[in-house]
Amino acid sequence: MRIVLLGPPGAGKGTQAARVACRFGCPHIATGDIFRANVAEGTELGRAAQEYMDRGDLVPDELVIAMVMERLASSDCDAGFVLDGFPRTVNQAEALDLRLAGLGAPLHAVLCFEAAEEELLRRLAGRAAAQHRADDAEQTIRHRLEVFAIKTRPLIDYYRHRRLLTMVDGVGRVEDVTARILDGLPAPEGGRDAALALAV
Ligand code: AMP
């Protein structure tokens, strides 16, 4: 399965992406995690990305697109992938479409998580306390929500026009949200119950 997860920060994409990827036996590719690993290792990419991340801005398209295209070329993506946090701009979505069209392997589904802003702010404040993420400071959180609204929300229409979009209510118990997601996807081998049992 080739799946994209969209949604504002705090909507639960990361948690659900890991569960869905585990279920379908394909890699969970989280661009934010890749950037954070590069920052921690002090790579050139990490140094280029850090100032944008700390401000809550998007890293420039050319850097993100090159990074994701390289990751998608790995053989573990042959069976599919769950993209978490990419694309975040129409440019990125077009680059992904072009690559997948070239491979004759288009996306199967795009899931967009929804949650009320107060819920997102509450969750992100909790994550800031637990994980000490610099970009989870309150002012930066608000900025990231604005960036989502301006740069990423247009992808909802982009994928709706391509008949790939499913909206997912991201509020509720983690297992219930996973069940809603799997309901909207073609059943994995072993069926939906096996999927729910296997999701970590
Ligand atoms: P995340 O963990 O997905 O919230 O991402 C953390 C930060 O990494 C974002 O606020 C951006 O600065 C950067 N980032 C992650 N994915 C992308 C992307 N697709 N495009 C641009 N910047 C990104």
Residue 169 belongs to what H/E stretch? Answer: strand 165-169
- Tell me how far the alpha carbon of residue 179 lies from the centroid of ligand 1, in angstroms: 26
What is the mean predicted confidence (pLDDT) over 21-37? 96
- Tell me how far the alpha carbon of residue 190 lies from the centroid of ligand 1, in angstroms: 34
What is the phi/psi pair of residue 30, to 5°?
-110, 110
Is 71 in the active site? no
Confidence of residue 123 (pLDDT cuts 50, 70, 90): confident
What is the mean predicted confidence (pLDDT) over 74-102? 96
Which of 80-89, 105-114, 124-133 comes out lowest in average pLDDT?
124-133
- Interior/surface letters 101-121, b for 16+ CB within 10 angstroms, e for the rest: eeeeeebebbbbbbbeeeebb
Picking from 62, 70, 112, 55, the residue whose alpha carbon sits closest to that of residue 92 is 62
Ligand 1 neighbours, Cβ below 6 Å, are 9, 31-32, 35, 52-53, 56-59, 64, 85-88, 92, 135, 144
Confidence of residue 200 (pLDDT cuts 50, 70, 90): very low
- Tell me how far the alpha carbon of residue 194 lies from the centroid of ligand 1, in angstroms: 32
Is 133 in the active site? yes
